Structure 1
Amino acid sequence: MKHFFSVGLSVVFAISSLLGCGKKLGEDRLPRPSARIASASQNFPGIMMITNPKICTATLVGRYTLLTAAHCVNQANGPITIQTPRGPQQSSEFMVLGSGVEGDPYDLALVYLPSPLLSEQEVLSMASGVNPGDNVLVVGYGCASSEALNSAGIKRLGSNMVSDVNEFIEVSTPGIQIKAVAGPENRAGVCFGDSGGPLLKQVGNRWMVVGVVHGAYNDGPGQVSQFVNLNDSHNRTFVSQYVR
């Protein structure tokens, strides 16, 4: 049975679909888990923490625009606080594509900034998509484990390999349940607070956004993280049309 959870984190805890090309990869075709866990990182200043009321993660995709999940902002009860490299800023302007409910493949939102935060070089562009077997990075401000929710608010980074592309892009983290970006550094997944964060793929010498954290579900002794697929025509059009 799949037990699904979205991974925005409430502050009270301390702080038409595109089918994938290729077949789902079994554990025997995925990297052997490293003994090291996903670690804190100062890379990617364009990936920031947002709150209201949940802790979530967002990505700078335009000089004035952050990309995140709809379920991170669609219940906002005031301005969204953005923890930027220059200090906290607030925004009351955002646009959502989907409802953000469980299983929504259009769980996307754009949050608009009153002024540019960073240089054009820190803006992350969208890539054209992924296939099973592609190497990716997971970046977010979520907790290190479901038993340590107060560890949210620290940017963590880990790698993984795409295991499946269906309505969502999926990556698998073995041997844990709802405890990942923690987990093995080469098989990282998502945890509470990572919602809205990016799935990154290297294209040439650039890291580009291919997905946005929607949620995760337990699968046997491990966890499968799901990312909204930015190669879906509805999702790509939404971002391209409304980015500023």
Structure 2
Amino acid sequence: MKHLIFHAFIAITFYSYAQCVQSCGKRQIKTRNLITNSLDAQPGDFPWHVAILQRVPVKQYICGGTLVGQSIIITSAHCVSIPGHRQAKPIEDLVVQVGKHLLNAPASASEPEYSLSSIIVHQASNEEQTDHDIALMITEEPVRYGKFVQPACLPTFSLIRDNLVGTIVGWGFTEHDSISNVLRAANVPIVTKDVCIRSNLEAFARSVTDEMFCAGYRNGTNACNGDSGGGLFRNVQGRWYLVGIISFSVTKQMNENLCSSTDYTALVNVAKYKGWIKENSDSNLDLSCPETKSAASTTTKKQYFVHNNKEVTFLEAWRLCQNTGHQLATITSEEDSQLIAHAISKSGNKKGPWYTAGTDLGNEGQFVWISTNKPVGYQTGYLNFRPDQPNDAWGNEDCLEIGRWGGVEWNDIPCDWKQRYICESVI
């Protein structure tokens, strides 16, 4: 089997645990848009990217990481583990620097250095088999936010879709086969697991697990040595979400110490680890936003009603919900998905599909909730489409349903199909 170069990705769909929903994933300075090929980032482009340095035997950069809260950094397990073991390196051996742009510049007031209070490596990580390549680093003191230091968002649902473009960030090897001093970024497409494996059976068939995905071009624009632990991000409605953590790529045939520029990069799917992250970081996170704590008592609650007794068109379902004093169901968060799944499990018929309130009638490709007239994903960024959806396969698939293949993932269908529906009330 070919040697693999670790440099991790973790994909995602999470709770924004470590920071207020209002504050994560936002740049604090105006920056230019990125292009497809790798280029130098500007200071403040990615204020959540972190440099991990080892102190011994010589202080030097080893990996990247992503700040997701005032004391929480997510990286790959192999970056912070003792080689050949599953256990974390001693905390005194590592430090992190935040707000950093030039790798070789010394720590400063705008690029401070933090010691660690703990390192949490996933208990099932396996360096030889690339499994569960994820770890958390907890800083000894809370990180101070500023113009060049901000947390990224953790998604509450999967943001991985074939051919969607994400942005990778790091100080990894450039085309000159050396670590970059300037933080660099590149836009790369996400590819299906099947495409990834078929591109290099020897390298990926046994290494890309169900908790991983692949991304990149095969033309030299990709993650490489030194990018390990850094993130793949997507901008969803103005907020940057950590979708993946760079895990590994294939080595060059002529030099096993360098990555291959003609192979994809493998990433760990962050969405698969949201429970683990929450379990291991709850005590270090403040879920409440200061400006909203006093309003907690006014938080709205939803109740869903599954109607299995009649099959109707989308517009008929909309009217029938209104006739009962309710509205056709909207789904704007992971909590909503859990509530609607619970309502389905308690109904007389647990087998879908059912209409929800999503439609792009009159505005192709721009789905809104007809019940509230707000764009799907508005404010929260929450989407839960099936991986190959929406696809408008019939040319007139303008309404959203859930449950066709079990679960509560969304897909688009023609609005004149007759089927059951789900209403909601908002308390």
Q: What is the aligned partner in structure 2 of residue 229 from structure 1?
A: 269
Query: Where do residues 86-125 of structure 1 align in structure 2 (5 Å cutoff)?
Result: 86-97=111-122, 98-119=124-145, 122-125=150-153
Counterpart among 196, 219, 222 of residue 175 in structure 1: 219
Report if aligned partners of 1:211, 1:230 keep a CA contact under 8 Å in 2. Answer: yes
- Give % identity: 22
Distance 1:61 1:236 in 2: 13
Query: Where do residues 32-47 of structure 1 align in structure 2 (5 Å cutoff)?
Result: 37-41=37-41, 42=43, 43-47=45-49
Q: Which structure shows the higher strand fraction?
A: 1
Query: Where do residues 1-244 of structure 1 align in structure 2 (5 Å cutoff)?
Result: 3-7=3-7, 37-41=37-41, 42=43, 43-52=45-54, 55-75=62-82, 76=89, 78-85=92-99, 86-97=111-122, 98-119=124-145, 122-127=150-155, 128-129=157-158, 130-145=160-175, 147-149=176-178, 151-165=179-193, 167=210, 168-176=212-220, 183=221, 189-217=222-250, 222-232=262-272, 235-243=273-281, 244=284
Q: Tell me how many residue pairs correspond in the alignment.
A: 204
So what's the TM-score if we normalise by structure 2? Answer: 0.44
Q: What is the aligned partner in structure 2 of residue 12 from structure 1?
A: none
Report Cα offsets for 1:194-213 as digits up to 9, x if no partner.
Answer: 11111111221111011111
Report if aligned partners of 1:141, 1:154 keep a CA contact under 8 Å in 2. Answer: yes
Q: Can you give the 5+ residue segments of structure 2 that lack an aligned partner in the other structure? A: 13-34, 83-88, 100-110, 194-208, 253-259, 285-427
Q: Could you say if the C-alpha distance between residues 103 and 200 of structure 1 is closer, same or farther in structure 2, counting changes exceeding 3 Å?
A: farther
Distance 1:65 1:221 in 2: 32
So what's the TM-score if we normalise by structure 1? Answer: 0.73
Q: Could you say if the C-alpha distance between residues 100 and 206 of structure 1 is closer, same or farther in structure 2, counting changes exceeding 3 Å?
A: farther
Distance 2:115 2:79 in 1: 15
Q: Could you say if the C-alpha distance between residues 207 and 100 of structure 1 is closer, same or farther in structure 2, counting changes exceeding 3 Å?
A: farther
What is the RMSD computed on CA atoms of the aligned residues?
2.8
Report if aligned partners of 2:165, 2:234 keep a CA contact under 8 Å in 1. Answer: yes
Q: What is the aligned partner in structure 1 of residue 290 from structure 2?
A: none
Distance 1:212 1:100 in 2: 16
- CA shift at 1:5, angstroms? 1.4
Distance 2:248 2:261 in 1: 17
Report if aligned partners of 1:57, 1:68 keep a CA contact under 8 Å in 2. Answer: yes
SS of corresponding position for 2:192: strand
Q: What is the aligned partner in structure 2 of residue 31 from structure 1?
A: none
Report Cα offsets for 1:189-238 as digits up to 9, x if no partner.
Answer: 21111111111112211110111111112699711101110121xx2211
Distance 2:136 2:189 in 1: 27
